[in-house]
Amino acid sequence: MHQVGTRALRALAVGAALAALGGVPSRALAEEPQTPTPTERAQAETFFQLAKGLEAQGKMAEACPKYEESLRLDPKPGTALNLATCHDALGLTASAWVEFLEAARLSAKAKQPERERFAEKRAEELEAKLSKVTFKLEGSAPEGLELRLDGRPMAVQSLGTPLPLDPGPHSLFARAPGHARGETPFVVAAGPSAATVVISALAAESPARAEAPQVSTPAPTAPASGGKRLPWPAVVSGVVGLAGVGVGTIFGIQAIRSKSEVDASCRGTVCSAAGLAANDDARSAAALSTVGFAVGVAGIVGAFVLLVVRQPDDPAPPRPTSRLGFGGPGGPGLSYSGAF
């Protein structure tokens, strides 16, 4: 009878610790874990050996997650004891406490009384060092309130109950439908200690803000081309004029270069064959340059004349406008008019 009562109290203690720690994502702490497969057992042994090697090197922070994964894959009393000892070495008293309790449960199930007594003793020693926090909410809890402690769900029923937490920084996140979200950061001191964290009441969202119409201002559009259009004869004349100026410029440069060759190859009226050829090239380039500039000037002047003397186009017909209004019980509050 005494043994049954002890196990019941132990189960209650584990449940309270799980609620305080936001739930342990491990099959190992379930009441009836499933039998691991051979593959899971092999993986669990691999993680266990890795953890032992890291622990031997003094790398406890790296060893603990390996022990935890090994325990998740294959819940064994020895693995639970190693994980609890690892967390205890890091000062994570609440985690170590609940893991020693779990190690005692697994040891009892495996009929290992020595390990069971050792785990119970260590859990009892750590219980006296626990840091406990009581969470209180200002005002009444809104309907649909959700709490997350360090990113893990926490039962709303935990409010007002002293809960064991690991020393260090923590954060409690609260939210409820129709209310603004709230986050409360806090730091837990090393135990034994007791503290109270007050969660500020979640502010209700303004109904006007939730129901206000979303009005977006349309982006300005470029005005459609109306009655002023460039006449195509003026465009063609301008293009021809620019092309003529370009041709005149190119052949003008060529004439200057050929003239330089003539000066270098001739002495007075006596020229070499190269000088005579350069002289012919210079004359031809100069003539083409003159023609190009003449055509260019004529084209540009013609385009200018066509643009100045052209008749204005017919005015564009007026465009219809529309009006859009947003209003409430007291009349329209916002109106927008535009043309289409």
Residues whose CB falls within 8 Å of the CB of residue 127, separated by 6 or more in sequence, listed in order: 97
The rounded distance, in Å, linking the Cα atoms of 340 and 324 is: 13
The rounded distance, in Å, linking the Cα atoms of 116 and 136 is: 36
Peptide bond into 192 cis (omega under 30): yes
**pLDDT computed for residue 214 by the predictor:** 54
The rounded distance, in Å, linking the Cα atoms of 93 and 59 is: 18
Pick the CATH number of 2-127 from 1.10.540.10, 1.25.40.10, 3.40.1260.10, 3.40.50.450: 1.25.40.10
3 state SS for 224-264: CCCCCCCCHHHHHHHHHHHHHHHHHHHHHHHHHHHHHHHHH
Tell me the sheet residues that pair with 148.
153, 173
The second-level CATH assignment, the architecture, of 131-204 is: Sandwich (2.60)
Q: Which of 161, 154, 162, 166 is nearest to 129 (CA)?
A: 166
Q: Please write the tens of the pLDDT for every residue from 48-105.
A: 999 999 999 999 999 999 999 999 999 999 999 999 999 999 999 999 999 999 999 9
What is the layout of strands, in order, in the sheet containing 152-154?
Answer: 152-154, 146-149, 168-175, 182-188
The tokens describing 105, both together, are 């449960």
Determine contact, residues 116/90, Cβ cutoff 8 Å. Answer: no
The tokens describing 302, both together, are 């013609």
Tell the burial category of 232 from Cβ atoms under 10 Å away from its Cβ (0-12, 13-18, 19+): exposed
Phi, psi of 84 (to 5 degrees): -65, -40
Give CA separation, 164 vs 22, 184, 187, in Å. 11, 17, 13
The rounded distance, in Å, linking the Cα atoms of 274 and 67 is: 96
Amino acid, single-letter form, for residue 91? G
The rounded distance, in Å, linking the Cα atoms of 18 and 33 is: 16
The tokens describing 197, both together, are 């964290």
**pLDDT computed for residue 191 by the predictor:** 81
The rounded distance, in Å, linking the Cα atoms of 90 and 77 is: 20
Below-50 pLDDT ranges, the chain: 1-10, 12-13, 22-28, 30-31, 210, 212, 215, 224-227, 313-316, 318-340
**pLDDT computed for residue 334 by the predictor:** 35
Determine contact, residues 116/108, Cβ cutoff 8 Å. Answer: yes
